[in-house]
Each structure stands twice: as structure tokens, then as C-alpha cells.
Structure 1
Amino acid sequence: MDLMSEVIRMVRVGSVGSRVIRHSDPRGLRFTAFAGSGFHIMLRGTCWLITEDRPPVPLRPGDIVLTSSGAQHGFARTRRALADLPPSAMGPIPPAPGPCDFEFLCGAYRLEHGYAPQYLRALPDLIAVSPDYDRYPEMRALVAILEAEVGRARPGSGATLRSLLDLILVLVLRQWHEQHGSAPGTDDPAIAAALRQIHEHPQHQWTVGRLSDVAGLPRTAFSRRFTALVGQPPMSYLISWRLGCGARLLREIDASLATIAREVGYSTEFSFSNAFRREYGVAPGHFRRAAFAMPMAEVSATAE
């Protein structure tokens, strides 16, 4: 299984949006925390990325900031404390006309229920990447196309927007992993073996004992190492992965709840529904209906 592709499909269960922000207020601006993932691409000018607990990071044109799991953050032309930055208005607001200190392009996947997949939550909250545009010329082209598409209501714009955000997110994750290593747990052969089985066969009746056998480790040692590397105990990760797959299937296929429950490892529709409600806060049927109730105009309105 291509783990990154599966994660992209999971975040797609939410709504997507994009907008351009031109900023000239010396106070800067702050984005509040949200459920989901997103990115900012610096188009023009320079500024500082401001976070709660890390030193400010200088940004220049071409840099990309990945908000892996919706953490609060901000931007300012000078070093400032995050709490001092005024909140940014949300929604499809046209960029301000005239000169500005800096300009950036936002893309976001907003999850109305639940949260970003563990794969993304295990990454640093805010990741600043300076893409190698000579090595990845397609990134430059994607950014130009996304900037041209934003704010234009044209036939096919909904599908185009999703595809562009997907491609940019994949390229940013690829470059970050090239510089900082593989996804959490995948560098350890024993834990990688267990993760591979969970990802490829979520419907199996896994237990900690069975997964430790796959890893070739004693049960206690396996649990301890898995939790340290992945950020969750094995069974918690398994449940999150199963329900993430279930959420994706609810949005992608017109199958019964009982069928989807079996596909992701639950013996009955009732047990799947209870677990799903605990994880996402709504019943599976409501989650599925909400996807078809949102028109594309509303989808584009959810961007930062």
C-alpha cells in the first residue's frame, strides 16, 4: 500500500478551499487552530512564521508552510508573539488591492468531524519547506495553476482545486521526508512490518499479540516501541486507521454500513457505528449525508 496516497484520500473526506491573502498590516495576522490540514505558499515579499512555542522562522518567496494537523500559527513582517497577532478573517474573501508587505496562497482541508490522520499528526505541527524548484519544476507549475484558479467560478473548478491541493501536499511531504526521514515508525523494520499489515489488512482481527508476532518482538517490547515511534499504542492506532478508512469509504462508495463495517474490521454495523460516533462525534449515516449536502460553493468557502 502507498501510505501517503491513502492518507491524502483520508483528508479528502473533508471540505477543501483556497484563497490568496495580501497583507500590509504591521500587526501581522493569526490563524486559529482548526480540525484538518493545510498549507501556505509565499508568493511575494518576506515575513516571519510565528508559532506558540518555537522561535520565528523567516520566509521568502517560494517557501511553503505545512500545517500538518491544524495548529494555531501566524505571520508578521517583524518578530512578534503569537498572542499579539490579530486573528485572520475566514472565508472566501478577495485579496486586498494595492501594495502589500507579503502575499501568500492558502490551501486547506477542513474536517467537519474528526481530525487529521495520525500520519500527519505525528509530524511537527508546523513545517517550513523551501522546495527545490529546479529539481521539482512541477511544483512551480502547480502553484501557478492554483493561483490562477483561486476565486474563479469556472466549470470543473471544484475538482481542479482538490487535485491541485492533493498534488502540492504530496510534493511537500515528499521533500520533507527526503530531508528528515521516513514516516514515523517506518524506519524500524519490526514496527514497519506491523504498520504494513494494519494498513493493508484493517479487516483482520488484530490483537497486540498477533501484531507483535508480525513484528517478531515480545508483546511488551513491541507495545513500548510502537508507542514511542508512532505516537499511539498499537490498538489505538489500529482503531484510528480503521475508522479513517471507514470515513473515506462512506464518502467514496454507495455500500451499506454493514458492508463498510466488515471492510474495516468490525463484525457488525452496530459496533462500527458506536466506534465511529466516539471518534467523529456523529453517526456514520449523518457523516455520509453531510458530504452530499454541501454544494461546491460552500466547499470553496471553507478555506483559510
Structure 2
Amino acid sequence: MDVLSDAIGVMRTGRPHSSEIRKHAPWGVRAEPFSGAGFHVVLEGTCWLIPPAGAAIALSVGDVGCLPHGCGHALADSPLTSLTGAPSASLREIAPSADGGEGATTVLLRGAYTLDQTRPHPLFEELPEVIHLPARLGHRTPLHAAVSLLGDEIANPGHGTEAVVSALLDIILLYSLRAWLDEQTDDGSSTGWAATLRDPAITAALRHIHQEPAGQWTVKALGAKVGLSRAAFSRRFTSLVGKPPLGYLTWWRMTLAARLLRDSDKPVQTFAQRTGYTSEFAFVKAFKQEYGLAHGRYRQQSRR
């Protein structure tokens, strides 16, 4: 178990989508915000990614523009191209057909993931609206290999394409987020998840919590698992994660419980056991305290 995979896994809903987009200059499209994450990769030509705030970002062949929060944005052949009257769509629905003029061609590969943003993992909350990963020879080879495979699969579909595309989209999202986390500098005073995932002891503690959410953990027991005293572990964990150890444990248990309620029709007792509660009553009480409504009502609302 690892924190990044779990953070994405617990938020994922539905299946990811991908398509190739071909445009001829001058062109410009707006993408409306949506509940999820997405990316654009330039396969041919160049374009500009225009975020809702801040400077436009130039994208060249092989560049990845990742949008972990599904923020609204625009794409254009030039930051000077007028977007007035440009078709609006979500990142999942940008028209793949060619439009614009008769100028230079740009070919984009885009992917979109539906995520439950009502309870994002705190790791996601620290991510910027746009992550720009420029293509550089010999740099991020696994990411660009996955992009190349995805482009080939979309251009030449065959048996099992749906499964292949879904798996490659997951890989690209994970590689993009890993690249951003790896590139954050640490001067020894930073906090947050980029620093957290570089701390071997706290990362190990998080893995224990994620792997055994039903474990009867105490601060002392978690500290002992990673070779720290109770006090030292508690201070270090709270400073990096932003929650005390048992606070994060409760948050993770309730996040898993919500996912199980949304995706399964099993009885509540099953969820209580899987999330470390000794009785159905204790689980129901903890869930209502966390979410502000009964588990049954939550299950109904999450399936609408």
C-alpha cells in the first residue's frame, strides 16, 4: 500500500476517458470546471494552456499539462487568439474534430478522470491548479513512454483497448503527480505532503494506517513501528501531515467507510469491522459525527 495510490483510489469514481484532439490555427476552446482531474499532452505542433489565474503556459511536443483539480481553463494556438464565442465544454467533452483556420496543426492527447472532490485526500489539496511537465530528453522517461503507448492505442484500437486505455490513464496521472512531488525542493523547513512523503518514518506510519485501518492503533504503537518515541512521533507526524496521528487515522477510516457505503450494499456491520469499530453502534455514531448525517442517508445521496 502507498499513500499516493490510495489517495487517488479512494477518490476515483467511474472510468477515465481519453481522446485525440486536432486543431488548425487560429483556434481557441474553453474547458469548463468539472469534478475530477485531467491532462493535455501535445503530440504535434504547439499550443497555450490558459489557466483561470496566472500567466498562459506554452506547451510544446511531449509537454504534459496536468490539471489535478479539474479547473476551468482554455487552450489556444496563441494567447492572443480571441476566445469570444468559443465553444464551452468540460475537459471530458472538448470536441475532437478539427476547427479554426488553415494554419499550423496542433494535435493534443487529453485524458480526464472523475474524482469525488467532496472529500479530497489532503495530499490533493496542496497540488497547484496546473502542473506543467516539460519534455526533456532522458527526463521522465516512464511518463512519456506511457503517453506514447496511450497515443498508439487510441490511434490503433484493438482487442482490449478499453482496459489498456484505462490502465494507461491511471499510470499517466500517477506519474504526473509523482513528478511534481519529486521536484518540490526541501530546505529542511518545509511542511506538507511533498515533505511528508520524503520522511521515511512518517511514510511508514501512513502505510501501516492505510494497510490496516482496522488495527487498534495507538500513538505509542505507531511510533514503535517506525522507531520513534511516542512524543517525537506525534510531533513529527502532526507537523508534516497537518493532523495528529489518531486524527488522521479517524479521517482515513471514515473516508474508506464513505467509499464502501457508496460502492457496496453490504451491511453496516461489515464496514464497522473493516474500519476498526468494535460495534455497529460505535461506527454509526462516528460516521454521523464526521459527516453530519446518518450512514443510510449518505448512501442514498451518494448514489443519486
SS in 1 for 2:194: coil
- Report the equivalent of 2:298: 283
1:169 aligns with 2:173: yes
Deviations 1:139-198 (A, max 9, x none): 444323323444988653432222111111222233333322573423356654653443
Tell me whether 277-286 or 199-208 shows the greater mean CA deviation. 277-286
SS in 1 for 2:196: coil
- Report the equivalent of 1:88: 88
Query: Comparing both chains, which one has the higher relative contact order based on Cα–Cα distances under 8 Å and sequence gaps of 6 or more?
Result: 1
Q: 1:133 to 1:114 in 2, by over 3 A?
A: farther
- Report the equivalent of 1:16: 16
SS in 2 for 1:89: strand
1:246 aligns with 2:243: no
Question: Unaligned 5+ residue runs, structure 2?
Answer: 186-192
- Percent of paired sites with the same residue: 35
- Partner amino acid for 2:268? L
- Report the equivalent of 1:258: 269
**Corresponding pairs, count:** 287
Tell me whether 156-165 or 112-121 shows the greater mean CA deviation. 112-121
Cα deviation, residue 136, structure 1: 5.1
- Partner amino acid for 2:284? F
TM-score of the superposed pair, with normalisation by structure 2: 0.70
After superposition, the CA RMSD in angstroms is 4.4
1:179 aligns with 2:186: no
Q: Distance in 1 between matches of 2:167 and 2:68?
A: 18
Q: 1:48 to 1:231 in 2, by over 3 A?
A: farther
- Return the index of the structure with the highest Cα Rg: 2
TM-score of the superposed pair, with normalisation by structure 1: 0.70
Q: 1:126 to 1:133 in 2, by over 3 A?
A: same
Given that 1:11 and 1:109 are in contact with CA atoms closer than 8 Å, whether structure 2 keeps it comes out as no
Deviations 1:87-139 (A, max 9, x none): 63245565223765533211111135635432222222211112456355554
Cα deviation, residue 243, structure 1: 3.6
Cα deviation, residue 263, structure 1: 1.5
1:156 aligns with 2:160: yes
Cα deviation, residue 245, structure 1: 2.8
Question: Unaligned 5+ residue runs, structure 1?
Answer: 291-304
Q: Distance in 2 between matches of 1:159 and 1:277?
A: 38
Deviations 1:53-77 (A, max 9, x none): 3322221110111212223333233
Q: Distance in 1 between matches of 2:47 and 2:294?
A: 38
Cα deviation, residue 38, structure 1: 1.8
